[in-house]
């Protein structure tokens, strides 16, 4: 851990790393203090409790997401959540922490999902105003689906990376390929529009016949 960081930041980063490695329940204040090379009393001085430290870890993760999602949308690059976050050099510990929370499940995972989805919805709304993002009939639902896609890529990052010819999602070559494929889906779509039009026409025909 870099000596140029403040004690507050070192403790927070230690919490991110140990919560990710051991899980929240198995991580102790004493272990966090040792990892950050401070006293347990200093951990409590800065954060009040282990719960307080976890709240600070959540806030740091969400701040990081917000910063990089804003930049990506401004650049008209609607990549998935994992690709956006991976652009940060400080991402490794927050990403590992997020993955652990999602795998463990429970109230914290649900709370983080809700907060992340709300942030995604806000950023997409900004993208709509800038004419970078298409409008949606269900903005909240769209944000929830995109959040699920991005978080799923994080949880399954190792098998995903193998399918893309590498070993880790955040390796440069794998991330470049992943980002290109994500952009392809987001900008070009997946289903041939003619098929959808045909389905609509058939449905309209059936309704006329029934009438």
Residue tagged 């282990």 (tokens): 50
Please state, in angstroms and rounded to a whole number, the distance separating the CA atoms of residues 51 and 58: 11
Please state, in angstroms and rounded to a whole number, the distance separating the CA atoms of residues 33 and 7: 10
Q: How many CB atoms lie within 10 A of CB 108?
A: 14
Please state, in angstroms and rounded to a whole number, the distance separating the CA atoms of residues 206 and 157: 45
pLDDT of residue 5: 76
pLDDT of residue 3: 52
pTM for the whole structure: 0.68
Residues with pLDDT less than 70, the chain: 1-4, 65-90, 196-211
Q: Is-contact 119 62, C-beta < 8 A?
A: yes
Q: Is-contact 103 155, C-beta < 8 A?
A: yes
Domains by residue range for the chain, with CATH? 51-155 (1.10.357.10)
């Amino acid at each position: 851990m870099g000596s140029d960081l403040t004690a507050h930041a070192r403790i927070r980063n230690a919490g991110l790393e140990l919560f990710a490695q051991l899980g929240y329940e198995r991580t102790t204040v004493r272990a966090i203090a040792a990892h950050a090379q401070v006293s347990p009393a200093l951990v409590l001085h800065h954060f009040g409790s282990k719960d307080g430290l976890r709240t600070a870890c959540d806030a740091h993760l969400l701040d990081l997401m917000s910063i990089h999602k804003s930049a990506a949308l401004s650049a008209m690059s609607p990549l998935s959540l994992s690709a956006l976050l991976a652009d940060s050099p400080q991402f490794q510990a927050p990403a590992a922490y997020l993955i652990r929370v999602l795998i463990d499940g429970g109230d914290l995972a649900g709370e983080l999902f809700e907060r992340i989805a709300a942030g995604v919805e806000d950023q997409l709304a900004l993208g709509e105003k800038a004419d970078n993002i298409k409008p949606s009939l269900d903005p909240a639902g769209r944000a929830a689906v995109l959040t699920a896609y991005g978080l799923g890529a994080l949880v399954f990052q190792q098998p995903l990376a193998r399918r893309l010819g590498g070993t880790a999602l955040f390796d440069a070559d794998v991330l470049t390929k992943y980002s290109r494929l994500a952009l392809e889906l987001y900008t070009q779509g997946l289903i041939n529009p003619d098929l959808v039009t045909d389905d609509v026409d058939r449905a309209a025909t059936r309704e006329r016949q029934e009438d």
